[in-house]
Amino acid sequence: DRAERDPPPPTLLALQELRERLEDEETLRPMLPQVVAAKAEVARRARDHQARLEAIGWLAGHFEQAGEVQEALRARLGLALACDEAGDASGTEQAYRDAVGRAEALGDAAARALVLRNAGLYFARRGRPAEAERLLVEALENAEQAGDKAQLGVTLLARGIFLQHQKRGDEARPVLERALESLPAGYPDTAFARGHLEALERGGPCGCGEQSGPLAKALEDLVRPKLPEGLLASIRIDPSAGFGSIEVGLAREPSAEERELLGKALDQAVGELRARLRRQEKA
């Protein structure tokens, strides 16, 4: 892990110093959550898992003490994602269980749907389908109550993909069709819904576990238009490593300018896809 080899980036050190100063100045303490949240984001980019986990854990505790239950819940979800990216399976599971418990105590169906969906997807990925299905069914019930079409769409999509991965195509098809009907026009998840429906229609795999699957296809669709014709051959992503393992295949040797352009196009595309995924997590 790079964070174990390299010193913390200057921005992370500066944010930590600012945080310590704010803690000492009572009148400035209301700014602490913003500074700590910024530190968590910088730590994520630097792959400094320890600093990120500490920052998000502080935010969760701070919001809980302040009675800001929605913000505390989002912090708990962020903690689960951070533990997952750090490879801490037990920490991830505990964070999701904490978030589910807190969400179920709320009277907010939208918040419950969000947490239950994310937890269900995690347990599905961990090979625990019974637990995942229970959570995804509850998520869908809450999304129905919440009345938000975008959230209903992504929750239906999660449920449909789960059923498809469990080789229950007859059950998955109407759920995915309804997901497409519910998702707003132009919503990024519509491509995933269509891709899974097309796979059902042709009787083939959906590609989620393949390096040329939906994530790689979405990235390639963003990068290719920004490059000279005939340069990009393919993009592959290791599904177990996500954006941390991108393999770019080129049709020819690029010039120095083209190599620089490729790097910028990839950075922009990854940033856009990360933003889309974060919007889905918050929907």
Residue, of 230 and 145, whose pLDDT is higher: 145
Q: What is the dihedral of CA 202, 203, 206, 210, to 10 degrees?
A: -110
Q: Are 72 and 102 in contact (CB under 8 A)?
A: yes
Q: Are 113 and 151 in contact (CB under 8 A)?
A: yes
- The whole-angstrom distance between residue 111's C-alpha and the CA centroid of its chain comes to 16
0.85 exceeded by pTM: no
Q: Is 107-206 assigned to CATH 1.25.40.10? A: yes
Q: Do domains 1-106 and 107-206 have the same CATH topology?
A: yes
- CA end-to-end distance (rounded Å), the chain: 31
Closest CA to 153 of 123, 119, 120, 189: 189
Find tokens 């921005």 and name the residue.
Answer: 11
The dihedral region occupied by 210, where left means phi > 0, alpha psi between -120 and 50, and beta the remainder, is beta
pLDDT class for 215, splitting at 50, 70, 90? Answer: confident
| CB within 8 Å of 248: residues ≥ 6 apart | 232, 234, 235, 262, 266
d(CA 217, CA 246): 12
Q: Are 255 and 167 in contact (CB under 8 A)?
A: no
pLDDT class for 5, splitting at 50, 70, 90? Answer: very low
Give me the pLDDT at residue 280, please.
55
Domain residue ranges in the chain: 1-106, 107-206, 216-270
Q: Is the pLDDT of residue 175 over 90?
A: yes
pLDDT class for 79, splitting at 50, 70, 90? Answer: very high
d(CA 37, CA 134): 32
d(CA 89, CA 35): 28
Fold that domain 1-106 belongs to in CATH: 1.25.40
